[in-house]
Amino acid sequence: MKRRVWLAIATLSVLAGNLLSMGSLFADETAKGVYQLDAMVVSTTRTEIPVFDAPQSVTVIGAAEIAALPFERVEDIVRSLAGVYNFRHYGLQTNGIVSPLIMRGVGRNRVLLLVDGVPQNDNFNNAIAWVGWGHIPKETIERIEIVRGPTSALYGSEGLGGVIHIITKKPRAQRRTSVRLEGGSGETYAGHAFHSQKIGDFGFILGGGYEDSNGFYMTENPEAYEIKRYRELGRVLGKASYDIGDRSEISLAALYYDYGGGQGRRWFYNEMQIDQYWLNVSHTAEAVALKGLVYYNQADKSAFQDSITGNQSILNREEKLRGTYTWGADLQATLFNRSAAPLTIGVAYKDVTWHYNEDYATSDRDAGAEGRQRFISPFANLDMRFLDERLILNIGARYDWIETSDGANFDTVAAAGQPPYDVQYDTERLESFSPKLGIAYHPDNRTTLRASAGKGFRAPTLFELYKVHVRSAGRFYRFANPDLEPEEIWSYDVGVERSWLDSLWGRLTFYQSFAKDYISDRLLSTQTLPNGTTREFNQLENVEEVDIYGIELELRWEMMRALTLFGNYTFNVSKIAKNDNNPETKGNYLTNDPRHKVHVGARYANPRWLDVTLLTNYYADIYYDSANTLKTGDYWTVDVSLSRKFRNHVTLFLNAENIFDEKYPIFLSTTGSDTTSPGIIVSGGVKFDF
């Protein structure tokens, strides 16, 4: 497998020479106002470069487009992009440890989320899924950068499918204040506020909001013990900055997020509080640019788990995370900053501490787990520009040293066929070297030919190593595995991006990946309960090989000054190529990722009359279990957003998701805990700008 990818990397090197002869085949044109040509991105090289020059497939969503979309959470804002799939419906606010986003078919929990450079994947349980990717107030977001393909050469563990980087706003000289109030389906009410101001060299932003929703039924025929999936949450983000001269800046940010949400039964719900703090320092000069980041993330969570007795949901236990935190630092220097060959070198450190405990409601049973992970990671990235900057060659690499220590788990009562246990695990160390190579070539000023190849990896989380996971009112068991190996993926892509007539833009990309030691569930056995339902026992294991390939096609047409049409199609195949522990799964598809995804939409922006965003979504061929016995055919939905601004101070808006009230499965399960969409969701409100 590695030989095939290294061959691809070598081929890319040869391709650079072949591309030089193609310049004469294209006219030398000047692009004006073409989609994304003037956008900048930092997440693909750790330094700011034009998206047009990026060696990987990149999408940047700016503040205006974010504001126009009818979504509050980042996971929904990016759900319509090529290569991205969100298998969680808008009405679902949480679904345990499972991250809802999949990129380029690599599976769940394999997308890296950054906020101002701070990793949100915490390596003990991927708590980003519990906060619903909505912990950052929408009004505070300046832009969202989406980089497709492995990102371990820059950011280390987690980003097998890609990275989503949220960049928050900076204070500006002109004061800005806004208040947004809204209400809608499910007895949902929300209020949001934002303020930005700069006084001399000092500036600050403050944004936040509160939401309360009675929620939705997410089953087609609710049982007597089932209730609506409700939520209540508050979030506040504040950031203060100070300009130290013309070339240096320091900023300090703090985030608080408080969430409570029901999972569909009285005693099946979550409560969570998150505190995050980060300090960014930067200095830019002719010869060198410096960046420093220090951060601290803390999460306290209670997950209340039930059992079903007759027609009642009975409290079984409370799962608690206390004293669970991540802290780290990231330092980098870009040498020859203003030259044609800037070199970025740096080192990252991350330290994760995890404590988990179970309190049972009807017995003195005690169970839990704990552990610690440390990461030390030097990295380097080199950009080289040739032929009057028409040819950009990007080379990068990162070495990750990881130590897992203080691992333990225990249970004082025999359960699920296992005797009581109290186990202390030895310290384990592993390392990973992640290279990458990318090429971007401009045969003219409207075209980019690009190709990239590299390696991604994901270290097994403390959750996967040590926690026994029980859900579906005791009908689903998944045993941890302290012997899990880190996942690896070798991937390459080739593509072309082109604009025509200053109004039409398109991109076509082919990608292929070869994954090794992919972490997945293996069904051990099933048990039929007296009430006729099924109990399922699973074990986490490494699958030897998974092969992935796909195509992404994107188009955008600025049809007229106020009207833009856009669309994308993703074809993806992710199959198990080798699995000695469960050979009957060879050739099966990975779960929760459609083979076909289509998004087609239009945006009409006329400040004098009306702003309209229309989005149609189509999905086909989704499997929900590793045996590929549970599958949906196809379904489609339509979303619309309307807004009208009056006298530059008051905006009325109306959002409708799934306007044709389609009922389609979100999850299918062998344990009978299927989840179905609630149909149409409507919200509306008013925004005041001061």
CATH number at residue 212: 2.40.170.20
CB atoms within 10 A of CB 141: 22
CA within 13 Å, CB half, 247: 8
Pairing of strands 476-479, 534-557: parallel
DSSP string, 444-455: STTEEEEEEEEE
The kind and range of the H/E element at 155 are: helix 152-155
User: DSSP readout, 604-667?
Assistant: EEETTTEEEEEEEEEEEEEE-STTS--EEEEEEEEEEEEEEEETTTEEEEEEEESTT----EEE
Report the amino acid identity of residue 76. Answer: D
Contact status, residue 678 vs residue 217, Cβ threshold 8 Å:
yes
**Where does residue 547 fall: left (phi above 0), alpha (psi -120 to 50 degrees), or beta otherwise?**
beta
CB proximity list for 634: less than 8 A, separation 6 or greater: 596, 618, 619, 620, 621
Q: What is the mean pLDDT of each run of 10 residues along the chain (690 residues)?
A: 42 37 34 56 92 94 86 88 86 62 90 93 64 84 96 93 95 93 95 96 96 90 90 95 94 95 91 94 92 95 90 93 92 90 96 94 93 97 94 97 96 90 96 97 96 96 91 84 96 96 93 94 84 84 95 95 94 94 90 94 89 94 89 90 91 93 83 81 94
For residue 133, give both structure tokens. Answer: 């990717």
**Contact in structure between 28 and 445 (CB atoms under 8 Å):** yes
Classified as helix, coil or strand, 66 is helix
d(CA 36, CA 556): 10
What total number of domains does the chain contain? 1
Distance CA 685, CA 687 (A): 7
Are the CB atoms for 57 and 495 separated by under 8 Å? yes
Give the Cα separation of 377 and 329 in Å (integer). 10
Token readout for 241 is: 């900055």
Provide the β-strand partners of residue 657: 681
Q: Phi-psi bin for 534: left (phi > 0), alpha (psi -120 to 50), beta?
A: beta
Measure the CA angle with vertex 511, ends 558 and 27; round to 5°: 45
DSSP state at residue 585 = G
653 and 640 in contact (C-beta within 8 Å)? no
Which position has the token pair 């986490």? 540
CB atoms within 10 A of CB 23: 16
- Structure tokens belonging to residue 304: 């209340």
Closest alpha carbon to 185 in 215, 226, 219: 215
The residues with which 320 forms a beta bridge, in sequence order, are 302, 357
Predicted confidence at residue 309, as pLDDT, reads: 87
Both tokens assigned to 111: 């997308």
Beta carbons of 219 and 264 less than 8 angstroms apart: yes
- Give the Cα separation of 249 and 241 in Å (integer): 7
Tell me how far CA of residue 192 lies from CA of 289, 444, 687, 688, in angstroms. 36, 45, 9, 10
Name the residue among 311, 221, 215 with its Cα closest to residue 263: 215
Q: How many residues does the chain have?
A: 690
590 token code pair: 């990975």
| Count of beta carbons in the 10 Å neighbourhood of residue 380 | 17
Distance from C-alpha of 131 to C-alpha of 159, rounded to nearest angstrom: 19
Ramachandran category for residue 220: left, alpha or beta (phi over 0 → left; psi -120 to 50 → alpha): alpha
Amino acid in position 526 = T
What's the CA gap between 138 and 117, in Å, rounded?
17
The Cα 432–Cα 402 span in angstroms is 8
Domain residues for the domain of 427 are 2-689
Please name the residue that has the structure tokens 């890319």.
Answer: 12
Virtual torsion, Cα 19, 23, 29, 33, nearest 10 deg: 10
pLDDT score for 5: 39
- Can you tell me the distance from the alpha carbon of 594 to that of 509, in angstroms, rounded to the nearest whole number? 18
Residue 183's alpha-carbon distances to 67, 213, 476, 653, 682, in angstroms, are 17, 9, 36, 11, 9
User: Which residues are CB-contacts of 191 (< 8 A; sequence separation ≥ 6)?
Assistant: 179, 180, 181, 182, 209, 210
Rounded to whole angstroms, the Cα distance separating 201 from 210 reads 31
What lies within 8 Å, CB to CB, of 381 at 6+ separation is 45, 46, 47, 153, 154, 343, 344, 394, 395, 396
User: 202-216 and 229-244: which strand pairing?
Assistant: antiparallel
CB-CB contact of 217 with 228 (8 Å) = yes
Amino acid (1-letter code) at residue 633: G
Quote the pLDDT of residue 10. Answer: 43
Query: Distance (Å, rounded) from C-alpha 490 to C-alpha 518?
Result: 12
293 forms beta bridges with 280, 330
- The phi, psi pair for 498, rounded to 5°, reads -150, 145
Could you tell me which residues are beta bridge partners of residue 356? Answer: 321, 369
Residues 6+ apart with CB under 8 A from 450: 54, 55, 56, 57, 438, 439, 440, 441, 494, 495, 496, 497
Which residues on adjacent β-strands are paired with residue 154? none
CA 49, 55, 58: angle at the middle one, nearest 5? 75
